[in-house]
């Protein structure tokens, strides 16, 4: 029996693909974390759909003081669901898309304590998986807690990684890479649209999409200033063919509010309807921009504006640029990715593309 731990709609979609391709002969359970706005509704829909043998819900997140306190308490007193998974010990493999290192280490510890054979694996968590090895390394604070609870070394048992495109991996310290068979994705995304997000229906995305991202501190204020200018430029050129897709964690956003996509539908689900080579995606450096190609083999134009933000270049990882280069070369994406060095160059790129797309 197989078990998936998921904390985002993207995780759930990839779990569905694995379940119905390489794991089609296995019974499967899924655990949903309450880390995105529609998590409880998705949990209930999965529960009634009966596609997984068991569906569990972990109602914890870091939103607000109560959420932080509740999650902190689970460091030493794991939630009922985590205790249940650790106690039953009936899985032959557990795939952790959700990188909750404290719970992951607790489960592995309990399995090994009883000498139960189970393979523990990670699942792709967006483009961070490909460019940043620290994605799979606990923060200093979490590392201290793991040390105090004598769980740190259990994470070393995880040597397998499931991902969509292994050839793009920039930093690999896994002994086994398993490709997620995204060629079968249309069937799974049809399921997601019909059952999990029926409101997606036949909704069509606008031609030009700005993917907003949440940042913090000084960088956030600089990003917001730039976004106002870039989004206004896009609106001036494309008018109502332009929209802003907010990040799932963004709660308040006032920039060009009339152009904000209001429906709470995952971007990965929306792009299955209409996105093609005549679409344009703009972002600071959103990993979702790569999803159309990795999931659907769709090839929109991509514009990344991180070089327009003062000081952001110092924070940005070299690995991301290396990833872009490999992405262009391996997947024949040259001449469809733009990284402008000024607002004037951005305007020129957008005007040029406006003449190309229908």
| Residue 186 clears pLDDT 80, i.e. is over it | no
What pLDDT shows up at residue 91? 92
SS (HEC) of 117-169: CCEEEEECECEHHHHCHHHHCCCHHHHHHHHHCCCHHHHHHCCEEEECCHHHC
| Residue 32 clears pLDDT 90, i.e. is over it | yes
Euclidean distance between CA atoms 218 and 166, whole angstroms: 35
| Residue 199 clears pLDDT 80, i.e. is over it | no
Task: Give SS3 for 2.
Answer: strand
* Average pLDDT score over residue span 113-138: 88
Closest CA to 86 of 141, 154, 10: 154
| Residue 12 clears pLDDT 60, i.e. is over it | yes
**353 or 259: whose pLDDT is higher?**
353
Radius of gyration of the chain (CA): 21
| Residue 167 clears pLDDT 90, i.e. is over it | no
Determine if the pTM surpasses 0.85: yes
Contact predicate 102/145, CB 8 Å: yes
What pLDDT shows up at residue 7? 92
* pLDDT tens-digit series, residues 231-267: 999 999 999 899 988 887 777 777 777 788 877 778 8
How many helices (H) does the chain have, and how many strands (E)? 14, 12
Identify any residues that bridge with 6 across adjacent strands, giving them in sequence order.
32
| Residue 150 clears pLDDT 80, i.e. is over it | yes
| Residue 206 clears pLDDT 60, i.e. is over it | yes
| Residue 161 clears pLDDT 90, i.e. is over it | yes
- DSSP letter at 50 equals T
| Residue 204 clears pLDDT 80, i.e. is over it | no
Identify any residues that bridge with 177 across adjacent strands, giving them in sequence order.
161
Strands 280-283 and 28-33: unpaired
| Residue 64 clears pLDDT 60, i.e. is over it | no
Task: Give SS3 for 249.
Answer: coil
| Residue 96 clears pLDDT 90, i.e. is over it | yes
| Residue 313 clears pLDDT 90, i.e. is over it | no
* Average pLDDT score over residue span 297-306: 91
| Residue 71 clears pLDDT 70, i.e. is over it | no
């Amino acid at each position: 029996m197989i078990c998936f731990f998921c904390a985002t709609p993207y995780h759930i979609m990839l779990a569905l693909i694995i379940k119905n391709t390489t794991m089609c002969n296995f019974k499967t359970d899924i655990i949903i974390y309450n880390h995105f706005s529609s998590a409880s509704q998705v949990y209930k829909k999965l529960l009634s759909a009966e596609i997984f043998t068991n569906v569990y819900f972990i109602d914890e997140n870091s939103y607000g003081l109560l959420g932080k306190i509740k999650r902190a308490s689970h460091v030493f007193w794991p939630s009922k669901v985590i205790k249940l998974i650790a106690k039953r010990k009936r899985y032959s493999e557990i795939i952790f898309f959700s990188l909750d290192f404290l719970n992951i280490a607790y489960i592995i510890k309990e399995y090994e304590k009883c000498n139960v054979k189970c393979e523990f694996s990670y699942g792709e968590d967006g483009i961070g998986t490909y460019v940043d090895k620290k994605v799979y390394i606990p923060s200093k604070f979490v590392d201290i807690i793991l040390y105090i609870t004598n769980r740190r070394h259990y994470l070393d048992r995880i040597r397998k990684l499931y991902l969509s495109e292994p050839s793009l991996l920039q930093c690999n310290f896994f002994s086994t890479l398993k490709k997620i068979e995204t060629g079968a994705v249309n069937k799974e995304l049809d399921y997601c649209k019909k059952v999990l997000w029926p409101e997606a229906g036949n909704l069509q995305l606008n031609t030009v999409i700005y993917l907003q991202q949440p940042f913090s501190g000084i960088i956030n204020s600089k990003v917001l200033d730039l976004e106002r200018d870039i989004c206004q430029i896009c609106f001036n050129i494309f008018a109502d063919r332009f929209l802003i897709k907010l990040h799932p964690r963004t709660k308040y956003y006032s920039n060009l509010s009339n152009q904000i996509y209001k429906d709470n539908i995952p971007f990965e689900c929306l792009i299955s309807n209409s996105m093609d080579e005549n679409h344009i995606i703009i972002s600071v450096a959103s990993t979702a921009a790569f999803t159309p190609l990795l999931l659907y083999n769709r090839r929109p134009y991509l514009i990344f504006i991180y070089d327009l933000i003062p000081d952001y270049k110092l924070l940005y990882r070299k690995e991301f640029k290396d990833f872009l280069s490999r992405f262009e070369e391996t997947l024949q994406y040259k001449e469809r990715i733009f990284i402008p060095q000024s607002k004037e160059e951005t305007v020129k790129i957008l005007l040029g593309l406006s003449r190309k797309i229908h």
